[in-house]
Structure 1
Amino acid sequence: MANRSHRTGGLSIASPASSLSKRSSLPTLRRLAQNREAARKSRLRKKAYIQQLESSRIKLTQLEQELQRARTPYARWLDEHHRLMCDLRAAVQEHLPETELKMFVDGGLGHFDQLMALKAIAAKSDVFHLVSGMWLTPAERCFMWLGGFRPSDLIKVLVSHIEPLTEQQILAIYALRTSTHETEDALSQGLEALHQSLSDTIASDELSAPSNMANYMGQMAVAMNKLSTLEGFVRQADNLRQQTLHRLHHILTIRQAARCFLAIAEYFHRLRALSSLWVARPRQD
């Protein structure tokens, strides 16, 4: 009777209370196992996220170094541009023959092509730096469009400096300005569509629950892909600027082209001078 187990045919039969305890512990064990697995997956996601952050930090450092290397050549480009424009101005004032003047004009156009190459490098390093206009003076940023000047506006500024024009030249310049303006509108509309699409992605409900790291990172990858197209817009805008100057060069005579490049240089020099005056203006307390 001391043994509380019932024996039947030599077999021990557990009490009902013991069987109930075992059955009730099974869900608890399953929950504990599920919690351990969830914790393990959470640690793995956190580790992957930290590794991704570190990788992004390294890439950002590399991009900053590349951008700094791009800024220095741009400063040198500005110095060289000033020297070339001084030489071109002297050549115009000395009334050099067009055969000699052409070398100065071609040199100025080629130098502008170098700027486009520098901007292409900078766009790959940090396209936002170009789009924000932080590489320009404050007054220049007022007239910025996709990382630079708007070609159609520049044509309007230049016309008065390259007169007199033949009727054929007037028609060609008018057609150039019209086509340039249409391309600018198309790029601006594309950029606006990109902004809207990117805004919709960032506002998505899938980004409202960062605890679901897979969805969160997936949506961020979609946003990154959309954002990467911004470099393409800047590149197309720079190509339009470059093509506009080259087409003007073909429409105009050598002497007109010389006055054209001098007018462009003077225009941006005045904007930079205005910026200097603005920065140095007296402030009221």
Structure 2
Amino acid sequence: MSGGSYRSSSHDDNSFEVFLEGWLIRQEQFLNELVVAQDTFDDQESQENDMGDLISRVLAHYQEYYEEKSRMTHRNVFRAFSPTWFSPLERSFLWITGFNPGLIFNLVTDSVNNLSEHQVQRLNWLKHETKAEERSLTEEMAQIQESVASPPLADLARRVGMQLIYTDSINTEIEEVDGNIDQLKMALENVVTDADRLRTRTAERVVGLLNPLQSLKFLSAVGQLQLRVRMMGMEREAERQQQRNEHSNGW
């Protein structure tokens, strides 16, 4: 592949960061709508229809994220494992390039306080099923890591991912890694796809078990957590940058 193609890949990868910034702005707007809908809830059928429409739009918003992420992952799966668009704090929460699906059940418990016994049973069954799939994917990921004798996968993602961004001379790096880079990329893409599918399917099934008002509370909790972690991560990075600047200036 020519150097021009890699520069194009870098441009495409940067486009995901641009997409994410716009997506997060819309995420905050949706969160505001969710909060207002909860505060003005009066149990009328017409309002339940409006809530159903809002819930559908929020789920479609998340689907848009995963579709764009899938395109980015296909272009450069190593960037997905070393996402520069997230702060270190945000990256500390990642499980196979995204949130751990089990977190969904903690958010339901924390945000919804009027679950019926039937709902609790169904949620517990779904939680057990989700945990089993999580373990399977974690084991699959471990096998991929073990298949890369040296360097470890995280280092590989950084080295090859950054090479794709900053230089045209990638062929030598690929040869040093293993010679099986295509197989590795395919394996990583597959596990990311399966993990994202588990994330979206679990969220949709949870919403399917909740009534409209409960769904609003749950989706609000999801949005609040995501935006809060992002803000905290950005604040920490700003503080660290300020400290580095002060240190470099001899303060």
Q: TM-score, normalised by structure 1?
A: 0.70
Residues in 2 aligned to 1:268 and 1:217: alpha-carbon distance in whole angstroms? 39
CA distance in 1 between partners of 2:98 and 2:187 (Å): 17
**Whole-angstrom distance in 2 between the partners of 1:172 and 1:130:** 33
2:83 to 133, 140, 163: 133
1:90 pairs with 36, 45, 54, which one? 36
Instruction: Give the distance between the partners of 1:201 and 1:137, measured in 2 at CA.
Output: 24
Q: Which residue of 2 aligns with 1:176?
A: 126
Gaps of at least 5 residues in structure 1 are 1-54, 203-215
* Structure 1 residues 154 and 139: CA distance shift in structure 2, 3 A: farther
Judged with a 3 Å threshold, the aligned counterparts in structure 2 of structure 1 residues 219 and 126 are, in CA distance, closer, same or farther, namely closer
Describe the superposition over 1:256-277 as per-residue Cα deviations: whole angstroms up to 9, x where unpaired.
0010000001111221222133
Match of residue 17, structure 2, among 30, 53, 71: 71
**Which of 242, 246, 269 is the aligned partner of 2:204?**
246
TM superposition outliers: structure 1 runs of 4+ over 3 Å:
216-221, 280-285
- Helix, strand or coil for the counterpart of 1:164? coil
Counterpart pick for 1:267 among 225, 240, 245: 225
Question: Percent identity over the alignment?
Answer: 20
Superposed, 1:1-285 pairs within 5 Å as: 55-95=1-41, 97-199=47-149, 220-281=178-239, 283=243
Greater alpha carbon shift after TM alignment, 108-117 vs 65-74: 65-74
**Amino acid in structure 1 at the alignment position of 2:24:** L
Counterpart position of 2:160: none
Task: Name the larger-Rg structure.
Answer: 1
Contact 2:104 2:203 in 1 (8 A): no
Tell me the distance in 1 between the aligned counterparts of 2:230 and 2:70.
23
Following TM superposition, by how much is the alpha carbon of 1:224 offset from its aligned partner in structure 2, in angstroms?
A: 3.1
Q: How has the CA–CA distance of structure 1 residues 98 and 218 changed in structure 2, closer, same or farther, with 3 Å as cutoff?
A: same
Q: How far apart are 1:93 and its partner, in Å? A: 0.8
Aligned residues: 218
Taking a change above 3 Å as real, the CA distance of residues 218 and 69 of structure 1, as seen in their structure-2 partners, is closer
The answer to whether the 8 A contact 1:92-1:258 is kept is: yes
Cα distance in 2 for partners of 1:227, 1:271 equals 29
In 2, the alpha carbon distance for the partners of 1:132 and 1:155 equals 26
- C-alpha displacement of 1:188: 0.9
* Partner amino acid, structure 2, of 1:174: N
| Residue deviations 1:138-189 (CA, integer Å, cap 9, x gap) | 2221111111100112322331211211111101111111111111111111
TM-score normalised to structure 2 length: 0.79
Deviation at 1:225, TM superposition (A): 1.4
